[in-house]
């Protein structure tokens, strides 16, 4: 486990160093031409339920509503899952061209989450930088009542943290792919045998069908064998539809949670057993600060 953490840290430091040197050349090098960066690697800041490399533009606020129905294996009695629902409402703001911040509230476990996402390096059109890399950090707070109020319960026990590297490449105007190594830390676990730190490795892609429509896929593999005894890997398939200022994402997944800690490490049920949840994301962009010009 320590080796995995060490590799993630080394990988981040290498890319940060590359980023700083690149930015200094762009700002101060009189003989160096400004780099042209790729854009629209993905359509929104999420591939499906997981984070993508994208941030809202500077001064833009994304308002999102994510809705899950129940599992289809509930059968006709549960109207194949449509009688149940899980909702997350979120806001994400572009502080500048690299940094965004966000807040969210999920009905599942009454979870509040807050996050920052920073774009370390950006893919260039001439491939001098072949990938875009972002760092994502999330704090989630479980809002449920403590199951044993008579115990000495601590607020810190409600908290969990997620650290991710988002490494993406736009291979063409039609196809993009992202690798997402993640570290999830839980302050409180159910059993002594359960690890507080869990590493997952994810991947997701997008293929454009038309100017305003694409198909997406996303998968996250749990590296901890102890966690895999009780939980399943998250697999999601989706369809993105853009309609002006809105982006609709329709998807099916075996993950009920809509926040990072949940779908990465607490997915229960496989596709083969009918644990398939239909859901959708609606994202609306508002311009809070109008740009003075384009860079």
User: Could you please report the per-residue DSSP string of 14-56?
Assistant: HHHHHHHHHHHHHHH-TTSPPPPBP--SSSSSBSSSSB-S--P
- 292 assigned to some structural domain: no
Domain assignment present for 96: yes
Two structure tokens written together for 259? 């926040």
Backbone angles phi, psi at 167, to 5 degrees: -115, 110
Which regions of the chain are under pLDDT 50? Answer: 2, 4-32, 294-295
Say what the pLDDT of residue 138 is.
96
101-125 residue pLDDT tens: 999 999 998 999 999 999 999 999 9
pLDDT of amino acid 264: 94
User: Cα 291 vs. chain centroid, distance in angstroms?
Assistant: 26
Query: Is the residue at 295 inside a domain?
Result: no
Q: Which pLDDT value is given to residue 290? A: 81
* Nearest-angstrom CA–CA distance, 295 and 260: 32
Say what the pTM is: 0.82
Q: Is 293 inside a domain boundary?
A: no
Rg (CA), the chain: 20
Domain count of the fold of the chain: 1
pLDDT digits (tens, 9 = 90+) for 137-175: 999 999 898 888 878 888 888 999 999 999 999 999 999
How high is the pLDDT of residue 159?
94
Does 210 reside within a domain? yes
pLDDT of residue 273: 87
Question: What does the pLDDT read at residue 33?
Answer: 52
**Residue 22: what pLDDT?**
46
Closest to 35 (Cα-Cα) out of 126, 105, 161: 126
User: Do the domain assignments include residue 214?
Assistant: yes
Residue 50 domain-assigned?
yes
Identify the CATH number of the domain in which residue 68 sits: 2.40.160.40
The range of the structural domain enclosing residue 201 comes to 2-145+154-287
In a domain, 169, yes or no: yes
């Amino acid at each position: 486990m320590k080796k995995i953490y060490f590799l993630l840290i080394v990988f981040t430091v290498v890319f940060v160093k590359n980023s700083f040197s690149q930015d200094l050349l762009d700002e101060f090098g009189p003989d160096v031409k400004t780099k042209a960066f790729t854009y629209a690697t993905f359509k929104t800041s999420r591939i499906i339920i997981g984070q993508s490399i994208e941030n809202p533009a500077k001064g833009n606020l994304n308002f999102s509503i994510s809705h899950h129905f129940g599992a289809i294996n509930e059968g006709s009695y549960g109207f194949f899952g449509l009688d149940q629902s899980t909702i997350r409402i979120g806001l994400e703001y572009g502080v500048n061209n690299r940094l965004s911040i966000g807040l969210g509230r999920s009905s599942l476990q009454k979870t509040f989450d807050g996050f920052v996402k920073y774009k370390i390096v950006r893919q260039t059109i001439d491939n001098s930088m072949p990938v875009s890399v972002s760092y994502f950090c999330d704090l989630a707070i479980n809002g449920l009542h403590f199951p044993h109020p008579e115990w000495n319960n601590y607020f810190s026990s409600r908290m969990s943290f997620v650290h991710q590297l988002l490494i993406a490449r736009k291979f063409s105007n039609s196809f993009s792919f992202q690798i997402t190594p993640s570290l999830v830390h839980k302050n409180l676990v159910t059993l002594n045998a359960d690890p507080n730190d869990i590493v997952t490795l994810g991947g997701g892609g997008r293929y454009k069908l038309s100017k305003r429509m694409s198909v997406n896929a996303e998968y996250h593999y749990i590296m901890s064998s102890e966690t895999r005894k009780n939980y399943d890997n998250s697999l999601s398939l989706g369809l993105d539809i853009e309609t002006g200022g809105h982006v609709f994402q329709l998807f099916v997944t075996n993950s009920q949670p809509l926040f990072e800690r949940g779908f990465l490490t607490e997915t229960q049920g496989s596709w083969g057993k009918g644990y398939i949840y239909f859901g959708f994301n609606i994202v609306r962009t508002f311009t809070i600060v109008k740009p003075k010009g384009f860079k």
